[in-house]
Amino acid sequence: MMKHTQTIFTKYCGRAISTIASSPLSSTVQHRWKEQDGLVLGAAFIGGYLGHALINIYKRREHWYKVKRMLDESDKRLVELTARQAQYSRAVLEETRANFKPTTS
């Protein structure tokens, strides 16, 4: 479980390089990471963050179109249902008036 947690931490935070087992590849990555300039790392972080934000905005826009279409369809069905209910109410009222026999007391 701890190894899995370290893997997740490495994947999403990028800070657990020291927990990676010593291997030629991991030591190469560690040396390259240390050689990087702060400006380059900052630019890479900001670029990745902006890319991630743009992808989320695009997905949200797609989702909003689906939600808007569902709301429009729901409003249309509600208008149709209200019209049908009004028509039914008028028919029942006319039927009641036609069959109404006043009682004389």
Q: What is the C-alpha separation between 18 and 16, in angstroms, rounded? A: 5
Domain coordinates in residue numbering, the chain? 1-35, 38-100
What type of residue is 29?
A: V
Q: What is the C-alpha separation between 47 and 33, in angstroms, rounded? A: 17
pTM: 0.40
Exposure string (b/e) for 51-84, b if CB count within 10 Å is 16 or more?
Answer: eeeeeeeeeeeeeeeeeeeeeeeeeeeeeeeeee
Task: Return per-residue pLDDT of the chain as tens, 105 residues.
Answer: 556 666 665 665 555 455 555 566 667 766 776 776 777 778 888 888 999 999 988 888 888 888 889 999 999 999 999 999 999 999 999 988 888 777 776
Q: Coil, strand or helix: which one is 56?
A: helix
